[in-house]
Structure 1
Amino acid sequence: MWRNRALPLFDRVSVPVAVCDVHGAVLPANPAMPAECGTIPGRLRGRAVLELFRPREATQVERIAAALRLRHRSRYQVSVCRRAPGGMERHGELTADPVSDTFEETPALPVMLCVLDERAPREAASPVRGAPAGARILALLAGGATMARAARETGRTAAGVTYHLRRLSARWGAANRTELVARAYALGVLSAGAWPPVPAGDE
């Protein structure tokens, strides 16, 4: 029943959306999903969604697989990236919501891709002590910049800035933005003797 209600809406959604089986194989997809992958709709069917979009952290996928085996029904997010034509890396998040008509039925996984930003390969591959983009964002926030200004000055969307902050918070175990900036100084990501704040090595 959920399919009859949801699938007719797919073509009207501008963001990339697909329905996968419980193993992650693509079933139907809206036109935006194959367009994001540089292919046509028929060629996505049966392909593993996590081969199309590479997970950035394997532990995220392992936790989701364990939860699905236990029949937990929740919203799951996986940070992913893929190499776009021209060599740019596109970073984003796949959100999956297990659905079925009954609890006993094996769920399907409608997945939606939110593209957060696009980076040239050299920047994407360079180490962060975090990541260069993350260090620049932290320097701006440490100097009092708003999220909107940090996004504007780093050439990213607000969602892209949030993505970098969330990744660094998880990596460093920071509970909030203040602690995140403090840890950036403690770890030497931001220069301790400069004002306005700058990434270490940029003084």
Structure 2
Amino acid sequence: MEAGRDEAVVWRNRALTLFDRVSLPVAVCDVYGRVVLANPAMAAECGTTPGALRGREVLELFRPQEATQVERIAEALRLRHRSRYQVSVCWPAPGGGSRYGELTADPVSDSADETPALLVMLRVRGERPAPQPERARVSATEGRVLALLAGGATTARAARELGLSRDGVAYHLRRLSARWGAANRTELVARAYASGVLAPGTWPPEARTADAE
């Protein structure tokens, strides 16, 4: 009897080792969809570790595309039907954007009368990139003022190069600072680069596709 238990432990450990090494994202859930066990590939799709997934609702991690699919599966499980169920899902990609694919759930148990667990496998079908932030809109003159400011120009020099008065340059700087909530000129230049108004990697600084006045 003791030998039988030892052998069962050995095979259980071998099965868990194989489970962890499978490259396909796999999890074992209870009949209510709570994660009991997840392999590293499944955890990687969620940007976390296998232990952190334990107890999480699988349909909160992977959002179903059609609610009716989930309702049909829940009803089938309530009636103890033992079929393979598939749900189209999407979820946030660890690096940004989102992915989409299918979750396949197979009821598994030692006997027909036992409440089944669910062996859940995820198949990734594709990825949608994260939307790019919209470039800030500035006028042509505002773009030139920002480019000169980024190059170290004083208000007087910017005024000479743009054919404006010093008050005219100061007016544009006040408007930009108020629009972006910039506390000083250094922050104003930083925000111009961050928002795509100034082209990165160029010297002297250049404004990118500024709107016409």
Q: Give the alignment's TM-score, normalised by structure 2.
A: 0.54
Q: Read off the aligned partner of 1:117 and give its amino acid letter.
A: G
1:155 maps to which residue?
none
Deviation of the 1:83 alpha carbon = 1.6
- Given that 2:46 and 2:94 are in contact with CA atoms closer than 8 Å, whether structure 1 keeps it comes out as no
2:61 maps to which residue?
52
Gaps spanning 5+ residues in structure 1: where? 123-203
In the alignment, the residues of structure 1 paired with residue 78 and residue 104 of structure 2 have an alpha-carbon distance, to the nearest angstrom, of 18
Deviation of the 1:6 alpha carbon = 5.0
CA RMSD in angstroms, aligned pairs only: 2.1
In the alignment, the residues of structure 2 paired with residue 10 and residue 112 of structure 1 have an alpha-carbon distance, to the nearest angstrom, of 12
Deviation of the 1:85 alpha carbon = 3.5
Q: Read off the aligned partner of 2:87 and give its amino acid letter.
A: V
Relative distance call for 1:12 and 1:74 in structure 2 (3 A) is same
Gaps spanning 5+ residues in structure 2: where? 1-7, 132-213
Q: % of aligned pairs identical?
A: 75
**Among 68, 74, 79, the residue aligned to 1:65:** 74
Residue 114 of structure 2 aligns to a residue in which SS? coil
Deviation of the 1:51 alpha carbon = 0.4
In the alignment, the residues of structure 2 paired with residue 40 and residue 66 of structure 1 have an alpha-carbon distance, to the nearest angstrom, of 31
In the alignment, the residues of structure 2 paired with residue 6 and residue 18 of structure 1 have an alpha-carbon distance, to the nearest angstrom, of 13
In the alignment, the residues of structure 1 paired with residue 95 and residue 114 of structure 2 have an alpha-carbon distance, to the nearest angstrom, of 43
- Given that 2:45 and 2:94 are in contact with CA atoms closer than 8 Å, whether structure 1 keeps it comes out as no
Alignment of 1:89 onto 2:89 = no
1:28 maps to which residue?
37
Residue 98 of structure 1 aligns to a residue in which SS? strand
Q: Read off the aligned partner of 1:19 and give its amino acid letter.
A: V
**Among 98, 114, 118, the residue aligned to 1:105:** 114
In the alignment, the residues of structure 1 paired with residue 79 and residue 122 of structure 2 have an alpha-carbon distance, to the nearest angstrom, of 25
The higher radius of gyration belongs to 2
Deviation of the 1:88 alpha carbon = 1.2
In the alignment, the residues of structure 2 paired with residue 120 and residue 14 of structure 1 have an alpha-carbon distance, to the nearest angstrom, of 23
Equivalence map 1:30-179=2 (5 Å): 30-121=39-130
In the alignment, the residues of structure 2 paired with residue 28 and residue 87 of structure 1 have an alpha-carbon distance, to the nearest angstrom, of 25
